[in-house]
Structure 1
Amino acid sequence: MKLRYFMMACLFLMNAQQKALFAKSNNDKLIAELNEAIQHKELYIKKKLADIEQLKWTLQQGGLTLEQQFQLNDKLYSEYKTFQYDAAFTYALKLQEIAQKLKDPLKINYAKLQLSFTLLSSGMYKESIDSLNSIKVKGLPNHLRTEYYVLMSRSFYELAAYNGDPYYLDLYNKKGNMYSDSAIALMSNKDLQYYFVKGIKELKERKFEEAKVNFKLVLEKFHPNYREFAMTASSLASAYIESEEKEIATDLMIQAAIADIKSSTKEGVALAYVADLLYHQKHDEKAYLFIKEALNDANFYGAKLRLKHVSGILPIIEGNRLSTVEGQKNRLFTFTLVVSFLSLLVIIFAFIIFKQLKQLKLAGKKVTEANHKLQEANDRLQETNEILQATNNELLEANKIKEEYIGYSFNMYSDYLDKIEKIKKNIEKKLAIKNFDSIGQVLDSINMKKEREALYLSFDKIFIKLFPNFVPAFNSFFKEEDKYPLQADQPLDLDLRIFALIRIGISDHEQIARILEYSVRTIYNHKTKVKSKSLLSNEAFESKIMEIRAF
């Protein structure tokens, strides 16, 4: 009994170990999609690099105007702005250089805005704000003024988050809100950016439910591209994190990370946040894989701030992962001990069971042999019973046919005896009075043809009575046009009568010819003609005739 309880405890411990080792995340489906996107990352990057190379090739062609050079450098800047910091910075400076040569104030300010974005993305907040302050806002068209205010608000929001001091946090967020209001005032409520900027402002004001509404509008109404989707989904995830809805936040952040990968965005932080969220949900292995991937992206982008942000998360996840691995090793060691002990018990019980099985096998072999012999005897008995049953059926049929034909024969013989007796008496009378001439008349009164036809009709009636299904069964052996129509009380024709005689056992051609008063050749020809029209082979035809049952 003690051994039984000990084994139950061991099994419980093994089950607990398995649950701890193989626990699954609720986000498995999205994580699988993220892993798939990471596996295809190089394909997305390859496409982006191909587009960049095409633009560079076009730029290297001679005869381009300054305006065309500006447009191509702007496109190259757009390709690099979230992809590689150094290249984006270089092309932003080229934009400024070409804009100065063109002496176009709008292009000069546009180039400064692009440089400010790049500086901001790299974490150079002071330089970004200085660059923005050098822009003369007055006189700018609405779309550039909007971009200016959005960059200003973002600069102060990120500066507040980076600084962390409560005093400056509040101060910078207020400035960010002020610039957000200025941007919103210039936007149309039919534009995606209108709801995105409103959502960011409400997020900073800790109006999380209002922020969620605006971010959801962007995702559901405006069909954003990958970059817009990633920014909106990650911002919406931040709102859910603040309202303690971590499961939904994780789903959204994973989707943002997938969008970043598909757009080859290296400047994004969604993947790092995914790793952080999964780490706090105790999914250390997944968190470690994703933070390593985020670190690769940060290194590729080349901005110190992004690298610092990821590097701050990596040691925490890696340290916890090492602790988890050590714990798993200890649990695995315990698990191994338990399994070893149980294996020993299994070996002991297996030896005992083996001996029992060996004895049972010997007994089973004897029982099996006896069963085989019994089965063979049963099979032979079954075969014998089937043969006897078939023989009994044939005997019953034969007896019935004999009974009918004996009755029929007695009636026929009785009729013929009566007729012979009448003829005998008639002839005796004629002889008695010596009226020899009238004896010939008596004999002439006997019509043998009619007598024979009467005999055939009598045979037909008794045969159809014994074999009511004979004609339909016989006709089933022929095509429709070759069948033998037979109405009620109609005599059998010669072909049917030949095979009727065969069915009752008269198969000799001479005997059939004698009964029907035809030559043997005629009987043979009729049989051959019937068989040639049949759907059956000649060999099978007569055996099928014999299978037609009586009654």
Structure 2
Amino acid sequence: MRKLKVFLAVLLASLSLHVHPSEIDSLLRELDMSIRNRPQYTLKRQEQIDALQRKLRLSHSDQERYDLYRELFGKYRSYRMDSALWVANQRVELAKRMKNPLYIRSAELNIAEVMIGVAMYKEGLEILDGIKSADLDASGVSYYYYQYHQVYTLMADYAFSDQMKEHYRGLAYQYKDSIISMRRPGSQGYLLMMSEKLLYEEKYDEAIEILKSCYKTHEEKGYSVAIPSIGLANAYAFMGNTELQKKYLAISAIADIQAATKEYISLWKLANLLFQEGDIKRAYTYIECSMQDATFCNARYRTQEISELLPVISRTYENKLKEEKTQMVALVILTSVLLIILLIALMFIFYQMKRLNVARKAVNTMNEELKHINSDLHTLNDKLQESNQVKEEYIGYVFNMCSLYINKQEEQRKMLARKIKTGQLDD
């Protein structure tokens, strides 16, 4: 039955739930930028902590100091576990001095939270077991149950056998109901825990509707969307929708990085997902960032989770770098060979151009000589034309003289003939 539900959920997801690839690319680029700007976000959070510490030094009453320590613990809890533990111990001492049992139990719960956060589950459970819910107010009881839920959830994740995993998951599930019963219906805490319960019960569609409502509320009110986003990512992971899982992991990671949260889950889960898809460079950057932050925070269980992935991703990334280096060397060699060939070709072209210039100069010289010869020929032609014209004039003159002479002889012949006819022989 469970497998059938999962199959149907996957089928529905593939038919109805889609995310545009460019949206994820845009989110990943924003996440890359956030990681590069991480020192600025850390500095901003440290400035907030420094401001609270200045207020502590100027405080005048134990009540004021106790409230400031509570606020300071909130700044340290997902930032630096060792500092959070110091603040929690200061709260315990101050509460004892104030002789306020409710304050003492609240501060002890802070210590238990830190113990659980640094993977000291036994010590955390001992503190929790030493506190009675009857000694707490309503918000304290909810916090008390949440710490039990958290420790059993983590113990289930790291349990050695499947039987132990199911045992601890069952205990954590019982505390989900306890937490829900202590929170105001419709509140964000109530809805988020209800979504976790629905996810455990494989009611994914209902859980997603609740988480989307929480996400919208957090976004509208300017709250961090990291928690509802990681919930949505988990829901879509159960449904097999990798694209939407990746989208909400990226959104959660951006919110965590920009809030200078050092203890988180979204970024290293996203690194694992990208690693499986072959985006090795981003996966390495994200897992390295996650390890640095977890180490800075001293969140041991996060360090343990990340350390299982880091060597695999790191080794693959190094192999990829070696491969790229080999390709780069081959490319450099090929480029060098091509450059040598290009230089030889350029030298040959230069030599040919030089010969062409010499030939061009020779042709130009010959052209100049031809111009001179042509000029001489034109001059000679002009002279020949002038000589021919003179000859023609002389020939015409001779022909004219001959014609006149012939005409004169003809007239003389005619005159002699007339004289002969008239008998003038003496004349």
State TM-score, norm by structure 1. Answer: 0.55
RMSD of equivalent CA atoms: 3.3
What does residue 267 of structure 1 align with? 263
Structure 1: runs of 5+ lacking an equivalent: 1-23, 363-551
Q: How does 1:458-477 map to 2 (within 5 A)?
A: none
Distance 1:49-1:347 versus aligned 2 partners, 3 A rule: closer
Note the C-alpha offset of 1:143: 1.9
Note the C-alpha offset of 1:349: 9.1
> Which of 47, 51, 58 is residue 50 of structure 1 equivalent to?
47
Name the amino acid aligned to 1:107: Y
Q: Secondary structure at the match of 1:199?
A: helix
Note if 1:137 corresponds to 2:133.
yes
Note the C-alpha offset of 1:173: 0.8
> Which of 79, 97, 102 is residue 101 of structure 1 equivalent to?
97
In 2, the alpha carbon distance for the partners of 1:107 and 1:224 equals: 34
Q: How does 1:101-180 map to 2 (within 5 A)?
A: 101-138=97-134, 140-180=136-176
Distance 1:143-1:216 versus aligned 2 partners, 3 A rule: same
1:177-225: CA deviation from partner (whole Å, max 9, x where unpaired): 1110111122223211111111222333444333322222210134387
Q: How does 1:301-312 map to 2 (within 5 A)?
A: 301-312=297-308
Contact between 2:271 and 2:284, CA under 8 Å: does it hold in 1?
Answer: yes
Q: How does 1:45-444 map to 2 (within 5 A)?
A: 45-61=42-58, 64-138=60-134, 140-223=136-219, 228-332=224-328
Contact between 1:44 and 1:264, CA under 8 Å: does it hold in 2?
Answer: yes
In 1, the alpha carbon distance for the partners of 2:39 and 2:337 equals: 49
Q: Secondary structure at the match of 2:158?
A: helix
Q: Which of 1 and 2 has greater Rg?
A: 1
In 1, the alpha carbon distance for the partners of 2:156 and 2:352 equals: 79
Contact between 1:272 and 1:294, CA under 8 Å: does it hold in 2?
Answer: yes
In 1, the alpha carbon distance for the partners of 2:116 and 2:207 equals: 23
Note the C-alpha offset of 1:329: 4.0
1:142-183: CA deviation from partner (whole Å, max 9, x where unpaired): 222122222211211111011152101111111111110111
Contact between 1:227 and 1:259, CA under 8 Å: does it hold in 2?
Answer: no
Contact between 1:157 and 1:176, CA under 8 Å: does it hold in 2?
Answer: yes
Contact between 2:105 and 2:135, CA under 8 Å: does it hold in 1?
Answer: no
In 1, the alpha carbon distance for the partners of 2:77 and 2:36 equals: 23
Moved more, 81-90 or 29-38: 29-38
Q: Secondary structure at the match of 2:219?
A: coil
In 2, the alpha carbon distance for the partners of 1:296 and 1:175 equals: 32
What does residue 31 of structure 2 align with? 34
Q: How does 1:6-45 map to 2 (within 5 A)?
A: 27-45=24-42
In 2, the alpha carbon distance for the partners of 1:150 and 1:197 equals: 10
Contact between 1:288 and 1:318, CA under 8 Å: does it hold in 2?
Answer: yes
In 2, the alpha carbon distance for the partners of 1:52 and 1:177 equals: 35
Name the amino acid aligned to 2:57: Q
Q: Secondary structure at the match of 1:264?
A: coil
1:278-304: CA deviation from partner (whole Å, max 9, x where unpaired): 211111111112222112111211232
Contact between 2:41 and 2:257, CA under 8 Å: does it hold in 1?
Answer: yes
Count how many residue pairs are aligned between Structure 1 and Structure 2: 341
Distance 1:225-1:167 versus aligned 2 partners, 3 A rule: farther
Name the amino acid aligned to 1:59: L
Distance 1:248-1:171 versus aligned 2 partners, 3 A rule: same
1:487-545: CA deviation from partner (whole Å, max 9, x where unpaired): xxxxxxxxxxxxxxxxxxxxxxxxxxxxxxxxxxxxxxxxxxxxxxxxxxxxxxxxxxx
Contact between 1:82 and 1:266, CA under 8 Å: does it hold in 2?
Answer: yes
State TM-score, norm by structure 2. Answer: 0.70
Distance 1:144-1:55 versus aligned 2 partners, 3 A rule: same
Note the C-alpha offset of 1:240: 1.9
1:330-378: CA deviation from partner (whole Å, max 9, x where unpaired): 55566667767877898899979x989x99xx9xxxxxxxxxxxxxxxx
Name the amino acid aligned to 2:25: D
- Select the structure with the greater relative contact order (CA < 8 A; seq sep ≥ 6): 2
In 1, the alpha carbon distance for the partners of 2:234 and 2:206 equals: 13
In 2, the alpha carbon distance for the partners of 1:138 and 1:260 equals: 35
Q: Secondary structure at the match of 2:225?
A: helix
1:33-58: CA deviation from partner (whole Å, max 9, x where unpaired): 11221222222222222222222222
Contact between 1:233 and 1:256, CA under 8 Å: does it hold in 2?
Answer: yes
In 2, the alpha carbon distance for the partners of 1:74 and 1:223 equals: 26
In 2, the alpha carbon distance for the partners of 1:91 and 1:149 equals: 22
Contact between 1:25 and 1:283, CA under 8 Å: does it hold in 2?
Answer: no
Contact between 1:173 and 1:204, CA under 8 Å: does it hold in 2?
Answer: no
In 2, the alpha carbon distance for the partners of 1:335 and 1:26 equals: 34
In 1, the alpha carbon distance for the partners of 2:325 and 2:34 equals: 32
Name the amino acid aligned to 2:148: M
In 2, the alpha carbon distance for the partners of 1:227 and 1:297 equals: 22
Q: Secondary structure at the match of 1:163?
A: coil
Name the amino acid aligned to 1:60: R
In 2, the alpha carbon distance for the partners of 1:161 and 1:226 equals: 32
In 2, the alpha carbon distance for the partners of 1:135 and 1:224 equals: 38
Contact between 2:294 and 2:302, CA under 8 Å: does it hold in 1?
Answer: yes
% identical aligned pairs = 26
Distance 1:307-1:225 versus aligned 2 partners, 3 A rule: farther
Distance 1:227-1:160 versus aligned 2 partners, 3 A rule: farther
